[in-house]
Structure 1
Amino acid sequence: MTVELRLILALVGLLWYAGLWAIGILGCSSARKRYRNRPRSPLAAASASSVPGVSILRPLKGLDTNLYENLESTFVQEYPNYEILLSVADENDQALPVARELMSKYPNVNCRIIIGEEVVGVNPKVNNLIRSYRQAANDILWVIDSNVTVHSGTLARSVDALVGSPSAPSRKRIALVHHVPFALVTEPKIGSRIEEAFLNTNHAKMYLAINAAAVDSCVMGKSNLYRRSDLERVNGSLKPMYAATQPGPLGLPAFGRFLAEDNMIAGALWHELGDRHDLSCDVARNVVGNMSFSDYVWRRVRWIRVRKHMVLAATLVEPFTESVVLSIICASSLKYLFGVWLWISICVHFALWAYVDLDVYASLAGHPLPSAIRWQFGAAWVVRELLALPIFLFAIVGSEVTWRGHTYRVLRNGEVERADKSRTWFQRLRQPKNYDPLDTDL
């Protein structure tokens, strides 16, 4: 390698490193600005007739960790005009007794249970939601997972963000309000701790930075607020609308063919309608239950493989945004350009990286990292950083994922089909690249 090429690589490495630090600081700054002050919305004290109605859709399946408290958090929202629709696919689902107990406890809350799915695709969450989606009385829908608990002021502040007056005439219309996930660990299993360290630091930092830059859609669907009238105009093609309607199925049924339906809905509202997203100053408290180390690994593998077929270029760049690879890039560049010892660069890098990550945690949690979990959290954070590259390298070479007991094959654009285990590896290798439309009669 010539001297000139080494110099160019070293300079490019430092520029890349500086750019990633700028993104990290943007995420940290956004967390401080948005989450360290959560004022009460004026909508919380308004009359029911003066605020838009909201239908809260919560798909249920089994006894999620902390299910009672998760569901109860939507029964106690400080908002004068909402209904709750709890949907289950099976009339024998274990979540039903919990739902009925809460309905008895809060008889003044407008809540209904909807039993039975409608199969519109391979995504079981979408199939479970379809009837609730169609029976909802209001245009504004708040779709929130069953393993999420929220603050009582979340709905009012989210409606503020969705329908509030633009701060400037040039600001684009908001079509979706989402909430950054914040993990709460109830069982100190190793996988749970690693997931907590991931979601509450690096994931949140990058999530907030991308949304602050607003260069493209970046949404995780633990808790999303949007209008049904908007969703009925899009189909997941991500192609801008040039006519009154898009071709093919529209609305929620059109997204049953995707595994990451939340991300695709957000992308459709962004690209097909030309609207934008916003965050309220609330987090979606994702209650992490008994997650083993293997569970954590396979969860990361699943979403890397899904993203690979949705945003290939961004997925391939991902390893170069992780702290271990970045520390090597920085240390090598500084060593070549200025003769700085490698171990000094690496130690300073990780000290500053951890400081920023913990500052993001403190902003989202509303308090610094508790001393009771400091060492457990720190160890989990280190393991997460060290695992990022090996998990990526394993995930990137496959296309099959397991979700809720079923195996799927991820196709182009994030669509999925049920994997046929009876086919040989040679038959799967020869599978044509242009896939037929999904058969929804499953």
Structure 2
Amino acid sequence: MLYIIAVAGALLAANTLSLMIAGWRIRSRQDKTPSVAVRPPVSIVIPLCGIEQFSRETLESALILDWPDYEVIFCVADKADPIIGLAENTLRARPLANARILIGDDRISANPKLNNCVKGWSAAAHEWVVLADSNVLMPASYLARLMAAWRPDSGLVCSTPLGSRPSGFWAEVECAFLNTHQARWQYAGEALGFGFAQGKSMLWQKTILDAHGGIQALAAEIAEDAAATKLVNSMGLKVHLVAGPFEQPLGRRTFRELWARQSRWARLRRVTFPHFFAPEILLGVVPPLLLGLSAAVVSGTSLVTTTLAVLCTAYAPELILAARKHWHLSLLSLLAMVTRDVLQPAIWTRSWLRGSFDWRGNIMVIRSQESRLEGGVAEPIAGP
């Protein structure tokens, strides 16, 4: 029984320690913009596909940044995509001299997002290039915060998504996944020397990536951020994170959308970093709670008291982190965190099974660690 209690305690201690490290490492959203001594010209490449709830706002945010010289290149694969009209209207409403839309698709990989970025990377005029997802809400200090995070040993600077503006319970659960779970562990890992790229916002030095295969090198893995992590590490450089993550407004989410997205990310992590993914089954409240309840049954301790003790130990620091960093919190946040942790074992188990998913109209089938294109449809092969 003492062994069971010790393991449960160790899991809860690791959870608390990760929250403390993340709290130390992450700056609040309300902190002032970091000073940057040199402000070089920057190219921002943004792949677009379809119209989302906050598309107009996120597109506009890229055109009003506080930076003396930058260009924005919107990339669209399909000339019939309705996002083109919205992007054109946004450029008229928020004119930026160095902003344009490029249309076309370069099939270099099974990753449609990466394919869409190729033309933008080739057209980028500057040494510093940001690859940014279209659903990132860029603050005016966006480029300053990315550049401030660059260090002498950096090969890449990126940001995790910070969920905001959820509408409905399942969007609250999405916030619980993105913020105090995924962002927390990613920042804690980076602080301990295990930096992983995140494809939401990636700042590159163009000459460095071009010297190691260019943007085509990111096709080495089904997920471009996994390929980026391995490539940067192979150079003897590190992936660093911005001081505070950038917002991704969520809007409404359904359970099906949440399940599909989290399952997709889990399967990609399992394929690209299996040795880091396997221990994820130990994260969350479920393992220490089951161990604690087992010890309580053996010792005759109250199950209700044990449950409350474990839940308080697990979630009080998490709620404190969100409050101190001014992240989204609501009356549903605690229930959303519990729901997230209940779902995690099922998502982890699902990730080991063969399966397919739809990524913006591309049916992607995971079967092995290689990928291929069949009949014009991206078909990654990423599992047994």
TM beyond 0.5: yes
Answering whether residue 130 of structure 2 is matched by residue 142 of structure 1, we say yes
**Aligned CA distance change for structure 1 residues 105 and 89 (closer, same or farther; 3 Å):** same
Q: Secondary structure at the match of 1:375?
A: coil
Q: How does 1:14-413 map to 2 (within 5 A)?
A: 14-31=9-26, 34-35=27-28, 38-43=31-36, 51-162=39-150, 173-185=153-165, 188-214=167-193, 216-234=194-212, 250-256=213-219, 258-269=221-232, 271-332=233-294, 340-364=301-325, 366=326, 369=329, 374-413=330-369
Q: CA deviation at 1:363?
A: 3.8
1:228 and 1:333 mapped to 2: Cα distance? Answer: 56
Q: Counterpart in 2 of 1:240?
A: none
Number of equivalent positions: 379
Q: Normalising by the residue count of structure 2, what TM-score does the alignment of the two structures yield?
A: 0.88
Separation in structure 2 between the aligned mates of residue 75 and residue 89 of structure 1, nearest angstrom: 21
1:246 maps to what in 2? none
Change in 2 beyond 3 A, CA 1:141/1:432:
closer
Q: Deviations over 1:159-189 (max 9, x none)?
A: 1222xxx5xxxxx511211123111235x24
- Amino acid paired to 1:38: D
Q: Does structure 2 conserve the Cα–Cα contact (< 8 Å) formed by 1:38 and 1:281?
A: no
Query: CA shift at 1:16, angstroms?
Result: 4.2
The secondary structure found in structure 1 opposite 2:244 is strand
What is the Cα deviation at residue 122 of structure 1? Answer: 1.1
Query: Structure 1 residues 291-300 or 279-288, which shifts more?
Result: 279-288
TM superposition shift of 1:111: 0.5
For 1:300 and 1:367, locate their aligned partners in 2 and report how far apart those are by CA, in whole Å: 20
For residue 233 of structure 1, what is the amino acid of its counterpart? Answer: A
SS of 2:44 mapped into structure 1: strand
CA contact (8 A) 2:73 2:101 kept: yes
- Equivalent-residue separation in structure 2 for 1:79 and 1:432 (angstroms): 44
Alpha-carbon deviation of 1:146?
0.7
CA drift of 1:263 comes to 2.6
Partner of 1:245: none
Q: State whether residues 182 and 199 of structure 1, in contact with CA within 8 Å, keep that contact through their aligned partners in structure 2.
A: yes
Contact kept? 2:186, 2:195, Cα under 8 Å: no
User: Residues 109, 379 of structure 1: CA spacing in aligned structure 2 closer, same or farther, 3 A cutoff?
Assistant: farther
Change (3 A) 1:52 1:58: same
272-281 or 375-384: bigger deviation: 375-384
The structure-2 alpha-carbon separation of the partners of 1:279 and 1:411, relative to structure 1 and needing over 3 Å to count, comes to same
Q: In the alignment, is the contact (CA less than 8 A) between 1:55 and 1:84 conserved in 2?
A: yes
Q: Distance in 2 between matches of 1:334 and 1:310?
A: 39
Q: Who wins on radius of gyration, i.e. which is larger?
A: 1
Alpha-carbon contact 1:60-1:146 (below 8 Å) kept = yes
Q: Distance in 1 between matches of 2:77 and 2:321?
A: 38
Shift of 1:329: 2.6
Structure 1 match to 2:378: none
Tell me how far apart the structure 2 counterparts of residues 378 and 432 of structure 1 sit (CA, whole Å).
35
Cα offset, 1:380, TM superposition: 2.4
CA contact (8 A) 2:149 2:243 kept: no
Q: In structure 2, what is the Cα distance between the partners aligned to 1:395 and 1:382?
A: 20
Q: Secondary structure at the match of 1:200?
A: helix
Does the 8 Å CA contact 2:73/2:100 hold for their aligned counterparts?
yes
One-letter amino acid of the counterpart of residue 222, structure 1:
K
Identity of aligned residues (%): 25
**Runs of 5+ in structure 1 lacking a partner?**
1-5, 167-171, 235-249, 421-427, 434-442
Instruction: Indicate the larger mover: 12-21 or 109-118.
Output: 12-21
Matches of 1:8 and 1:39, distance apart in 2:
47
Q: Give CA-to-partner distance per residue, 1:253-287, whole Å, 9 cap, x none.
A: 23235331123213311x21111122223322112
- Is the 1:191–1:294 contact (alpha carbons within 8 Å) kept by the matching residues of 2? no
* TM-score, with length taken from structure 1: 0.78
Answer yes or no: is the 8 Å Cα contact 1:141–1:226 preserved in 2.
Answer: yes
Does the residue aligned with 2:143 lie in a helix, a strand or coil?
helix
CA RMSD, aligned part only? 2.8
| Partner-residue secondary structure (3-state), 2:67 | coil
Q: Provide, for residues 259-316 of structure 1, a one-character-per-residue CA deviation record: whole Å limited to 9, x for no partner.
A: 31123213311x2111112222332211224421111112111122111112223222
**Which AA in structure 2 matches 1:317?**
P
Distance in 1 between residues matched to 2:4 and 2:373, nearest whole Å? 44
User: Which structure 2 segments of 5+ residues have no match?
Assistant: 376-380
